[in-house]
Structure 1
Amino acid sequence: MNRILYGLITCMLAGLAWGGSALATDGGLTLRLARTTLQITTFYNGTTLKASGTLPADADVLLHVIGAKKNVALKVKGKVAGLLWMNKTDVELENAPAVYMVYTPERVGKDLLLSQLEGDAKALVKDVAMLGIGYKALVKDIAIKPESADKKFVFGEYVKLMEKAGVYAVYNGAVEYGPIKEGKKSFTVTLTIPPKMNAGKYLIEAITIKDGKPVDRTSEEITIKLSGLPKIIASLAYEHSLLFGIMAVAIAVATGLLIGVLFKGGGGAH
């Protein structure tokens, strides 16, 4: 009898513990994407992707888009003899994501999103390392070699290059909220997919923030694929390199002959 009672009590406690754990991890955050597969066609020049979801009414949400991590080799330029700008040092960034974009709601700063942080709202957009996102958080996971290199300078210049290419960005005010209903509110955001975002898989993560702390997160994955002529060209280049080389030479020769005929027919230059 005692064994039976002990077993029942154990099961009840385990059930309560499981229920409490499930409640703690279920923050009511959802994320939906309009599409999970994007096609790079012949005249592709980037696109947009709509993301939406719901979250508790008393919280905020941030989204970030992360690409595959890679090692990047860079050359640091400097003045030689105080006159000429030349390549002075080779540096390498390890585990740098190919794409990194952050989307925030317009209400940033001490209102709700980052209530426990100090500083002006504009500066905080890029400095939300306490929340595990943003450039300051990102640089912690990137190793820069040689160790003697100025990590802050090198990473800063790398970010500038990636922002110029459109694959690193911080979009403040991009997240829009809907009306509050039954303790929850909806959100929508239009994600930018730049043309230099290559074919591959990318993680889109939503993070719920309350009182300056992350309390819940969820993610979805998108796949960008080559389609049509770009897919054919890539297939030839990587799987049939000899044939691709012969075709490239033939096209170059034919183009040269055509230009020669056109200029000769027009009387040429005098």
Structure 2
Amino acid sequence: MNKKILFHISFLAGLLALLASPCLAADVSINLDPSVINISAFYNGSSVKLSGTIPAKAEAFIRLSGLKREIHLKKKGKVAGILWMNTGDVTFNDVPDTYILLTSSGLKDEIDSPQSSLGFTALEKQIDVEPADSDKSFLIREFVKLQKKNLVYASDADAVQYATAAGGLRTFTAVATIPPKMKPGTYTIEVFALENGAVTGTATKTLTVKETGFPKQLSNLAFNHSLLYGIMAVLVALVAGLITGVLFKGKGGVH
């Protein structure tokens, strides 16, 4: 009998603790519009509208990340103090191929803060660099700069807008720019509710980027019918060369 009473007391205590927690799972939500992006023949990037809710006293930090991959790059350095040359190979393991951060001005320091578990510096804990004796922090910073130039890593500290809080919640909206170089695949979009620098709740949705129409057919041809794809590539190059030769010959003959 006493064991049953203790069980019920423990259950009620746990339930009350959950209800008293600063952020219930239902308090944090995120929606995508659209949730699927189609890459067609004239695709040049796109955008996704984000919206959701967080607790009234929290701020939203949104992270879009792609699949983790292994990337091989050449390391450059000065030889004899004069010439810049390739001095070795560097391998980055567990690298997200896309990493886009969106937040409001109140959380802009989280993007590059060394203490942040969400910003770019958090990548140092996720990514492994080979060879192991490399200057990991320096190489990852340089890698992030390179990815930012390719627009697949980005941040916007003014992207998130808030509506007036009501019922202990407030609604947020943001627009995520999808760069043309984002590869087909499945991407994770997360929203973190932050209060006083601590994550008090999260919500996650999936964004799908896929090829359609001619790009899909071309990709299928390249991967599944490589011989035919190679022959077609050679024929296209020959035809393009012939057309170019005729055009320049025609221009040269005009006086």
TM score, norm. by length of structure 1: 0.86
The aligned counterpart of 1:139 is: 124
Cα separation, 1, equivalents of 2:76 and 2:205:
39
Q: Tell whether the 8 Å contact from 1:129 to 1:135 is kept in structure 2 after alignment.
A: no
Equivalent in 1, 24, 27 of residue 26 of structure 1: 24
Map of 1:24-103 to 2, 5 A cutoff? 24=21, 26-27=24-25, 28-103=27-102
Q: Deviations over 1:48-81 (max 9, x none)?
A: 1010011111111100011111111111111111
1:238 lines up with 2:223 in the alignment:
yes
Q: Tell whether the 8 Å contact from 1:29 to 1:208 is kept in structure 2 after alignment.
A: yes
What is the aligned-residue identity percentage?
39
Q: What is the CA-CA distance between 1:10 and the residue it aligns to?
A: 5.6
Pairs aligned (count)? 252
Q: Tell whether the 8 Å contact from 1:126 to 1:170 is kept in structure 2 after alignment.
A: no
Cα separation, 1, equivalents of 2:114 and 2:49:
24
Map of 1:1-270 to 2, 5 A cutoff? 2=1, 6-7=3-4, 9=5, 12-13=8-9, 15-16=11-12, 19-20=15-16, 22-23=18-19, 24=21, 26-27=24-25, 28-108=27-107, 123-127=109-113, 129-130=115-116, 132-268=117-253
User: Where has structure 1 moved over 6 Å in runs of 4 or more?
Assistant: none
Cα separation, 1, equivalents of 2:152 and 2:203:
22
The alignment partner of 2:235 has SS state of helix
Distance change in 2, residues 1:54/1:257 (3 Å):
same
Q: Deviations over 1:116-171 (max 9, x none)?
A: xxxxxx655311644x2111111111111112211121111101100000111121
TM score, norm. by length of structure 2: 0.91
Q: What is the CA-CA distance between 1:177 and the residue it aligns to?
A: 0.3
Letter in 2 for 1:75: K
Distance change in 2, residues 1:78/1:197 (3 Å):
same
Q: Gaps spanning 5+ residues in structure 2: where?
A: none
Q: Gaps spanning 5+ residues in structure 1: where?
A: 109-121
Aligned CA RMSD, in angstroms, stands at 2.1
